[in-house]
Amino acid sequence: MPKMKTKSGAKKRFSLTATGKVKFKPANKRHGMSKRPTDMKRQSRRNEVMADADAKKVIKFFLPNGL
């Protein structure tokens, strides 16, 4: 059986915390920022921790070996 490989797109988009949670950057920050509320722009600057149900799928299918 060959080794499980980490998806290269997931390497760039997600990172794992020391406790095994998945961090990601929020979407909708690429263009058209003048239309967006200031609160939305400020909140999407930082990383967020993914919900547990989604994080399990990301780890299982995209990051089997961690990072």
What is the domain partition of the chain in residue ranges?
8-61
Task: Tell me how far apart the 2 most distant CA atoms of the chain are, in Å.
Answer: 51
The pLDDT score that the predictor gives to residue 67 is 77
Nearest to 22 by CA among 65, 64, 56: 56
Per CATH, the architecture of 8-61 is what? Irregular (4.10)
Q: What confidence tens digit (pLDDT) does each residue in 4-57 have?
A: 899 999 999 999 999 999 999 999 999 999 999 999 999 999 999 999 999 999
Closest to 44 in 3D by CA, of 23, 26, 22:
26
Between vectors from CA 23 to CA 66 and to CA 33, what angle results, nearest 5°?
140
- CA–CA gap between residue 31 and residue 21 (Å, rounded): 29
Instruction: Evaluate if pTM is beyond 0.95.
Output: no
